[in-house]
Amino acid sequence: MAVKKGQIVELEIESTAFKGKGVGKIDGQTVFISGVAPGDKVEGRIIKKKKKYLEAKRLQIIEPSPLRIEPKCGHADVCGGCTWQHLSYRHQLEIKEQHVRDHIERIAGLDLDLVEPILGCENEFYYRNKMEYSFGTKRWLTDAEINADEFVDDSGFSAGLHAPGRFDKILNLKECHLQPEFSYQILDFVRNFCNQNGIPAFDTFKRDGFMRHLVIRNSHYTDDLMVNLVTFKDDPEIIGKLADQLLTEFPIITTVVNNVNDQPNPTAVGRYENVIFGPGYIVDRIGKHAFKIHANAFFQTNTKQAEKLYSVAKEFAQINANSLLFDLYCGVGTLSLFMADKARKVLGIELVDVAVKNARYNADENGVTNTEFVLGDMKDTFNDDFLSKHGLPDCIITDPPRSGMHPDVVTMFTKLDVPRIVYVSCNPSTMARDLNILKEFYDIERIQPVDMFPQTYHIEAVAKLNRK
């Protein structure tokens, strides 16, 4: 009998797959289900039925896996910030490494021996240097509240993270262990301040209210700490009072800024910014270079692991004092600057205008004179004319978005007689797709997984390619 949508089923979880979902089987069909561990026996309800697979929602754990541990955070079962707190970090690393191996073998058709043992993170928790919290007028209910016989009101001021897959509901956090402990303490203080002073959260549907986001950024290498209050309106009186009380309660704060986003978009980037206290930025380092990090600037979220990732890329690049290096999808130039001390010249290409401006600024601030940054869409910019102008590089580093490289860029790689390519990926499945094409023209020498985000399913990998 065919499995129907809404049907309750029992599943034995065999493994994990995309986005950290568990994999089970029923009547020969693959079922994906979240919040489980390999070895769990669970009861779930079928919520999606596709041609090749089913999706289920976990109802209860019938028999827990021996791999399962007690999560550190009380929100772990419902929060989208962490997906694997119910697994020890050792098992998380094993699963992530296996995911990279599966992609390399199944999608790229390459030998598993190319994949090196994963490089883990020293800190399983409190590793993030940035947290973006949201405020809302609707909170996410607990399972007990959802299943209660009586009506449970979900309205009211809430502060925390968006519930998984929901833009309109906020998980009202009582704890969080991704950023150092002051982060949640500041969130709790701001929430209490707003409740005590009758300051409303922004209402997504009514497009009215005040508090939208709280973004906290801290430096790994200095004592700098930024609080960014993102509001729907510009009200110096409210923000001034809140900032004064924050600075009294948390003297470790070195700067407070107020981004005013009075537009419909849900981002934490304001249409304009007011610096309330301090310089309006923090300073951190990657390698020997210092970076001024403003409220809306991009910076690697895990500073120490970024250095580890960049060190692998630098080793794979094998550059020397005569090397010309291209850094594709260069962002704000952190990787370009990390490479610059070993190369004759590093040339970065980036689509985002503000990122290119930041890259040039970062180079100037650090006195790096052998870098150049070009604004342009990779598929249109990285072409024969570009090579005629700048020359053929000795090595290309490519760090594309999760979707991987544009097909035109991959095709360009197949035509170039570049000795070496270093592929840095935040999505090993799309990297494997590109490697499957490039392997005809390049020997894939090594692939190094690097874990940047413990407690989540995300995994980075670096591949070294040598021209045949």
Q: What is the pLDDT of residues 285-321, one digit of tens each?
A: 999 999 999 999 889 999 999 999 999 999 999 999 9
The residue with greater pLDDT, 339 or 206, is 339
Mean pLDDT of 159-180: 85
Cα Rg of the chain, angstroms: 24
Give the per-residue pLDDT at 157: 87
Q: Is 145 helix (H, G, I), strand (E, B) or coil?
A: helix
Known active-site residue 330:
no
Give the per-residue pLDDT at 327: 96
Question: What pTM value is reported for the model?
Answer: 0.90
Q: Is the pLDDT of residue 152 over 60?
A: no
Give the per-residue pLDDT at 153: 57
Give the per-residue pLDDT at 294: 92
Q: Are 244 and 260 in contact (CB under 8 A)?
A: no
Q: Is the pLDDT of residue 165 over 80?
A: no
Across all residues in the chain, what is the average pLDDT?
92
Give the per-residue pLDDT at 148: 59
Q: What is the pLDDT of residues 229-260, one digit of tens each?
A: 999 999 999 999 999 999 999 999 999 999 99
Q: Is the pLDDT of residue 2 over 90?
A: no
Give the per-residue pLDDT at 1: 63
Give the per-residue pLDDT at 18: 74
Give the per-residue pLDDT at 3: 85
Mean pLDDT of 332-351: 95
- Domains of the chain, each with CATH number or no CATH: 1-68 (2.40.50.140), 92-123+301-467 (3.40.50.150), 130-294 (2.40.50.1070)
Q: What is the pLDDT of residues 76-114, one digit of tens each?
A: 888 878 989 999 999 999 999 999 999 999 999 999 999
Give the per-residue pLDDT at 144: 61
Q: Which of 73, 121, 194, 426 is catalytic?
A: 426
